[in-house]
Amino acid sequence: MSDLVLGIESSCDETAAAVVRAGREVRSNVVVSQAALHAEFGGVVPEVAGRSHLEAIGGVIDRALDEAGATLDDIAAVAVTTRPGLIGSLLVGVSAAKALAWTRGLPLVDVHHIEAHVHAATMESPEEVRFPCVALVVSGGHTALYDVQSPLEMELIVSTLDDAAGEAFDKVAWILGLSYPGGPSISALAAQGDPAAIRFPRYSPKTPHGGAAGPKPVGFSFSGLKTAVLYHVRGGDALQPTPPPDRIPDRADIAASFQEAVCETLVIQTLRAAEQRGARQVLVAGGVACNQRLRALMTERAVANGVHAFFPSPSYCTDNAVMIAGLGWERLRAGRTADLGLDAAPR
């Protein structure tokens, strides 16, 4: 039997397909981004995303097969993201995968987008990753911690109470007059600023009143940090209008201090969860895992705590189909396939 899996990803605003051999060897990785289409809106517009996926999906799959030097006759299974995500976007990928599986008689494998992000952090060094471990998935739509027992077993520990970290980056970038998506633009400006210039708040969940003494709870919230940035820009007066970007004299310091607050919060909460579970390894995945300050701070603090932190390569942090094909292979080997009644789900 062939050991090539075709992966398809269309959960948000990237149309992606990849061919991966035996869950590890990347034969192709094609991603068509819609970032430019959504930039004028400052965020992803679901209707625009769905139509763009529909226009791109056929060509993206063809390119992935061509770059892999393969045809559909060489493929062992088709793996596709089914949840979570934008329902219109997901349906495009699921429909394409079902059509290929039906016409070619191929096994169909459904993949959870978040579980695939976690798996991406293990694909490049599988011999080093030891389960169980704690995973942080941090992106524009998700900020959550998971207890990972194996590639096919993970359980949610906690998710953000409000904004995801990537969403906070986007909103603060808008306040500062920076381009979308906010993560790269804030990171670039932060390189020119002082991360200690402004002490923005770091969220830490409080033990419930009257609760028994024990381990500190873990959790995330970024709405207060975002509001603190807005108040700072307005000179401490919430009723004042937000000044234009060229009238914010300390933009670089704001960007650097905001980025530091986000990264430190993510690191503290992740390592606290790892300590409480006795995990000696943490996996960090999702689009915000590209952030160089997060990677440096997590690595530094993890080493100090006797913990090994694993990150995917940047191209596998953002949405991609390599992670879908990789986890799809694991599910295929375990016999976890789907039938042609497979549907997409937003959550």
Give me the residue label for tokens 């970024």.
222
Per-residue model confidence as pLDDT tens digits over 15-56: 999 999 999 999 999 999 888 888 888 888 989 999 999 999
Give, to the nearest 10 degrees, the angle between helix 251-277 and helix 182-190.
110
Model pTM? Answer: 0.93
Environment class of residue 146 by beta-carbon count within 10 Å: exposed (0-12), middle (13-18) or buried (19+)? Answer: buried
pLDDT per residue as tens digits for the range 70-88: 999 999 999 999 999 999 9
Q: What is the pLDDT of residues 316-339, one digit of tens each?
A: 999 999 999 999 999 999 999 999
**Predicted pLDDT of residue 210:** 54
Mean pLDDT of all residues in 248-256? 96
Q: What is the dihedral of CA 30, 36, 39, 44, to 10 degrees?
A: -40
Of 7-21, 27-41, 95-109, the range with the lowest mean pLDDT is: 27-41
What pLDDT score was predicted for residue 132? 95
> Which of 176, 165, 170, 166 shows the shortest CA–CA distance to 198?
176
The rounded radius of gyration (Å) of the Cα atoms in the chain is: 21
Name all domains of the chain by residue range, CATH numbers in brackets.
4-118+318-333 (3.30.420.40), 126-311 (3.30.420.40)
Q: Summarize the confidence of residues 269-278 as an average pLDDT.
A: 97
User: Do residues 226 and 173 lie in contact, with contact meaning Cβ atoms separated by under 8 Å?
Assistant: no
The full DSSP string for 235-276 is: TT-TTSPPPPGGG-TTHHHHHHHHHHHHHHHHHHHHHHHHHH
Query: Which residues on neighbouring strands pair with residue 135, listed in sequence order?
Result: 146, 283
